[in-house]
Structure 1
Amino acid sequence: MTDINILRVKKWRMTGIFVVIIGLLYGSSVLTKFNLVEGIASIPGTFAWMVANLIPSAESLENLPRVLESLWETIILSVLVTTTAAIFALLFALMGAKTTQVNHTFGFIVRFIASVFRNIPVVAWALVLVISFGHNVITGYFALFFSTFGILVRMFIETIDETSSDGVEALTSTGASYFQMVFRGVIPDTLPQMLSWVFYMIETNIRSATLVGILTGTGIGFLFDMYYKRMDYGMLGLITIAIIIIVMAIEFSSNYVRRAIS
Structure 2
Amino acid sequence: MNENRIRYKKNQQMIIVVLLLALVTYLSSVLTDFNILHGLATLPEAFIWIFSNLVVTEESLERMPTILDKLVETILMSIAATTTATILSLFLGVMGSKSVGTSKLLGILARFIASLSRNIPVVAWALILLLSFGQNSLTGYLALFVGSVGFLTRAFIEVIDESSQSAVEALQATGATYIQIIMKAVIPECLPQIISWILFMIETNIRNATLVGILTGTGIGYTFDLYYKTLNYHGVALVTVSIVVAVILIELLSNHVRKVIL
Instruction: Out of 68-77 and 157-166, give the one that drifted further.
Output: 157-166
Where does residue 235 of structure 2 map in the other structure? 235
Deviation at 1:173, TM superposition (A): 5.7
Deviation at 1:26, TM superposition (A): 1.2
Q: How does 1:214-253 map to 2 (within 5 A)?
A: 214-253=214-253
Name the count of aligned residue pairs.
262
Q: Deviations over 1:59-95 (max 9, x none)?
A: 1000100000011111110000000001110111011
Q: Deviations over 1:152-174 (max 9, x none)?
A: 10111112112334554555466
State the superposition RMSD in angstroms: 1.9
Q: How does 1:133-212 map to 2 (within 5 A)?
A: 133-165=133-165, 167-169=167-169, 171-172=171-172, 176-212=176-212
Quote the Cα distance in structure 2 between the aligned partners of 1:9 and 1:160: 40
Deviation at 1:175, TM superposition (A): 5.3
Quote the Cα distance in structure 2 between the aligned partners of 1:165 and 1:118: 28
Deviation at 1:176, TM superposition (A): 4.6
Tell me if structure 2 keeps the 8 A contact 1:99–1:168: no
Q: Which runs of 5+ in 1 are unaligned?
A: none
Where does residue 117 of structure 2 map in the other structure? 117
| Inter-CA distance 113–37: structure 2 relative to 1 (3 Å threshold) | same
Tell me if structure 2 keeps the 8 A contact 1:164–1:190: no
| Inter-CA distance 49–91: structure 2 relative to 1 (3 Å threshold) | same
Quote the Cα distance in structure 1 between the aligned partners of 2:200 and 2:251: 8
Instruction: Out of 194-203 and 155-164, give the one that drifted further.
Output: 155-164
Q: Which runs of 5+ in 2 are unaligned?
A: none
Quote the Cα distance in structure 2 between the aligned partners of 1:167 and 1:87: 23
Instruction: Out of 185-194 and 246-255, give the one that drifted further.
Output: 185-194
Instruction: Out of 188-197 and 51-60, give the one that drifted further.
Output: 188-197
- 3-state DSSP of counterpart to 1:101: coil
Where does residue 20 of structure 1 map in the other structure? 20
Quote the Cα distance in structure 2 between the aligned partners of 1:7 and 1:170: 50
| Inter-CA distance 23–172: structure 2 relative to 1 (3 Å threshold) | farther
Q: How does 1:75-114 map to 2 (within 5 A)?
A: 75-114=75-114
Deviation at 1:37, TM superposition (A): 2.7
Deviation at 1:102, TM superposition (A): 0.8
Quote the Cα distance in structure 1 between the aligned partners of 2:18 and 2:182: 46
TM value normalised by structure 1 = 0.93
Quote the Cα distance in structure 1 between the aligned partners of 2:113 and 2:97: 13
- 3-state DSSP of counterpart to 2:101: coil
| Inter-CA distance 183–48: structure 2 relative to 1 (3 Å threshold) | same
Quote the Cα distance in structure 1 between the aligned partners of 2:123 and 2:213: 10
Tell me if structure 2 keeps the 8 A contact 1:164–1:185: no
Quote the Cα distance in structure 2 between the aligned partners of 1:60 and 1:248: 22
- The residue type equivalent to 1:260 in the other structure is V
- The residue type equivalent to 2:163 in the other structure is T
| Inter-CA distance 96–233: structure 2 relative to 1 (3 Å threshold) | same
Quote the Cα distance in structure 2 between the aligned partners of 1:169 and 1:36: 60
- The residue type equivalent to 2:241 in the other structure is I
Quote the Cα distance in structure 2 between the aligned partners of 1:43 and 1:100: 55
Deviation at 1:5, TM superposition (A): 3.2
Quote the Cα distance in structure 2 between the aligned partners of 1:163 and 1:248: 31
> Identity percentage over the alignment?
50
Where does residue 34 of structure 2 map in the other structure? 34
Quote the Cα distance in structure 2 between the aligned partners of 1:22 and 1:162: 39
